[in-house]
Amino acid sequence: MSDHDAMPSGTREAGETGHELIQRLVRTLDASPGVYRMLDDQARVLYVGKARNLRARVSSYARPTGHSERIARMIRETASMMFLTTRTETEALLLEQNLIKQLKPRYNVLLRDDKSFPNILIAKDHAYPQLRKHRGRRTVKGSYFGPFANARAVNRTLNQLQKVFLLRNCTDSVFRSRTRPCLLYQIKRCAGPCVGKISEADYSALVADAERFLQGRSTRIQADLARAMAEASEAEEFERAAALRDRIRALTAVQQSQGINPRGVAEADVVALHLEGGQACVQVFFIRAHQSWGNQDFYPRTGAGAEEPEIIEAFLAQFYANKTPPRLILLSHPLEDHDLMSELLSERAGRKVEIALPKRGEKAELVENAARNARESLGRRLAEDAAQDRLLKGLAETFALDAPPRRIEVYDNSHIQGAHAVGAMIVAGPDGFIKSQYRKFNISRDSPAAGDDLAMMREVLSRRFSRLLRDDPDRVSEAWPDLLLIDGGAGQVAAVAETLSELGVEDIPLLGVAKGVDRDAGKEEFHRPGRRPFALRRNDPVLYFVQRLRDEAHRFAIGAHRARRAKSVGATSLDDIPGIGAARKRALLAHFGSAKAASRAGLSDLQAVDGISDTMARKIYDYFHSGG
């Protein structure tokens, strides 16, 4: 994208209304494509919009009447505007979505859960390709199939594929170290290439069959297996015939488990929207190789009352910002600008992307099924939200908060005698747990805080709020919490209160949760700075809610601690030497047997190791013998 040109912007003059400001600014605009921002009297961005013709688009806001309540409210709050021109409307759409993601304006539709999706990978960087799940950038050489809606859908398919095609899932290092078949070979889920149970040519044929199946060409595979089973039976090779029969059954099972298997749709995403009570659910079904590879629901923020065309257009632009669009996208609702969105997605995919609103036939049935799922999912979500709202109101009443909290941050620590210490923060709000906002804080073993729960809590809170103050000193973003929940009693609460006071943050309610008598769940004591501790009755819904928050923080902290501890298990002193990567580390350990033996080796011994140059040998020797 080219650099963008700024056009004149303006601020509301004394006594001037929002639409009068816009009327005045329209006269300064031309017919260029571009992006406009509407800001309130605190310079907070209310709305980001794109336009094929800036003058024409912005002038639509200049009328004092004739707007929806949402737009009228936005115009009333507008105190200034900013403009950027672009070369094309497609560039304007891209810039608009980038700004929406960055600024999160209140009146824009925003996709809050923009995660990546898993794929199946047949890795081709080995003579015997590995079958595995893959998420993220496609840096490994191989064939990728996806996306799948979630890890569960991938794991189910991988499990069945192993039964049918017998491809290995072990890592290359495990493959090299095998001297006898593993359990997967024994239960007929792997062909045993690691110990020569299958030739490279026959294994390649299995790989080709797996790829054909994942491309939707499974008819020939099933016929070939049936013919081979009949031949084995006629030759009285009953064990081989039984194994082929099991593979046919597994293939049938994986086809049935996919659920919807459209004959006329090879590759498509089915996107359906249901809007109710100001909340939206978008359901996406992934159709690949004539099979359903799962579905996922999303709950975009509706921008204070946007309607279906704007919501679904914003969803598509944001959803495919980091994903490759399929060749066909089936929609339940029309877009504000169908051709522009098709052009944008085609540009991202590097090929033509068709967007369709089917009215009849199989494609319409797919959309109808997705729409029904969206409607049902939103119904469940609305019921859960109502319960969550009641709990947040109860929390505010119980602990005398000014209002129900929109963002609760819960903190916990985990360590074993100071080793692998981790502080954890989880976040919850009106929509439940916000897992994308979870954070972990690694505590150095050499830190004075390691092993000291109070000092760890001080360090975690200091790091968290120092960064918040640096990134948002005016405290206007949604990243600032309305309530802090600490797993601990009076000591932890006092330590946190003192830390926040030193940072000048003294207006955020703070609550400590201690186990109470006999550390029994249900007898928790609640601590607040300067107040006496108190307890809630055992059947109080607020007590259960706080327990859930604390338990989630505890789960996340323990998981982070275990992950850090597991990562350190394979660590050696060799890891600290610049230039020693995984391959050189393996070579040194294989040659000397241990890192300790390598540290004691002479220069000539190090030079004798495969893959270790004379220069690298000197670097390793100097590191261990001269404190390098």
At 616, list the tokens: 């690298």
- Name, in order, each residue with C-beta under 8 angstroms of 605's C-beta and a sequence gap of 6 or more: 592
> How many whole angstroms separate alpha carbon 567 and alpha carbon 422?
13
Instruction: For residue 451, name the pLDDT band (cuts at 50, 70, 90).
Output: low
CB distance 297 to 283 below 8 Å: yes
| Average pLDDT for 445-451 | 66
> What pLDDT, in 10s, does the model give residues 15-30?
788 889 999 999 999 9
Q: What letter would DSSP give residue 219?
A: H
Domain that holds residue 584: 573-625
Q: What CATH number is associated with residue 587?
A: 1.10.150.20
**Which pTM does this prediction carry?**
0.71
Mark whether 252 and 337 lie in a shared domain: no
Q: What CATH number is associated with residue 315?
A: 3.30.420.340
DSSP-derived secondary structure for 127-142: SSPEEEEE-S---SSE
Mark whether 58 and 143 lie in a shared domain: no
> What pLDDT, in 10s, does the model give residues 64-93?
888 999 999 999 999 999 999 999 999 999
> How many whole angstroms separate alpha carbon 373 and alpha carbon 272?
9
Mark whether 453 and 589 lie in a shared domain: no
Q: Give the rounded percent of residues in the chain with a pLDDT score beyond 90.
A: 49
Tokens 């999303």 locate to 298
- Name, in order, each residue with C-beta under 8 angstroms of 381's C-beta and a sequence gap of 6 or more: 279, 281, 299
Q: How many domains does the chain contain in total? A: 5
Residue 564 lies in a domain: yes
pLDDT at 474 over 90: no
For residue 419, the model assigns a pLDDT of 67
Question: Which residues of 371-418 form beta strands (DSSP E)?
Answer: 408-416
Residue 385 lies in a domain: no
- Name, in order, each residue with C-beta under 8 angstroms of 544's C-beta and a sequence gap of 6 or more: none
pLDDT at 156 over 70: yes
Q: Give the rounded percent of residues in the chain with a pLDDT score beyond 70.
A: 92
Mark whether 563 and 584 lie in a shared domain: no
For residue 254, the model assigns a pLDDT of 59
For residue 628, the model assigns a pLDDT of 42
Out of 223, 257, 291, a domain closes at 257
Q: Spell out the alpha helix ranges (H) of 192-337.
A: 200-214, 219-234, 238-257, 308-319
- Name, in order, each residue with C-beta under 8 angstroms of 407's C-beta and a sequence gap of 6 or more: 427, 428, 429, 434, 478, 479, 480, 481, 482, 483
CB distance 409 to 484 below 8 Å: yes
> What pLDDT, in 10s, does the model give residues 342-382?
999 999 999 999 999 999 999 999 999 999 999 999 998 88
CB distance 413 to 457 below 8 Å: yes
Residue 403 lies in a domain: no
> How many whole angstroms separate alpha carbon 151 and alpha carbon 397?
40
Mark whether 483 and 518 lie in a shared domain: yes
How many other C-beta atoms can be found within 10 angstroms of the C-beta atom of residue 308?
Answer: 17
For residue 65, the model assigns a pLDDT of 86
At 117, list the tokens: 């999706």
Mark whether 583 and 554 lie in a shared domain: no
| Average pLDDT for 98-106 | 92
| Average pLDDT for 290-309 | 90
Question: Which residues of 89-172 form beta strands (DSSP E)?
Answer: 109-110, 119-123, 130-134, 142-145
For residue 256, the model assigns a pLDDT of 55
> What pLDDT, in 10s, does the model give residues 28-54?
999 999 999 999 998 999 999 999 999
pLDDT at 101 over 80: yes
At 267, list the tokens: 């590759």
Mark whether 293 and 317 lie in a shared domain: yes
Q: Closest by alpha carbon to 344, among 48, 5, 36, 89?
A: 89
Residue 348 lies in a domain: yes
Instruction: For residue 1, name the pLDDT band (cuts at 50, 70, 90).
Output: very low
CB distance 102 to 8 below 8 Å: no
Out of 212, 234, 257, a domain closes at 257
Residues facing residue 142 across a β-bridge:
123
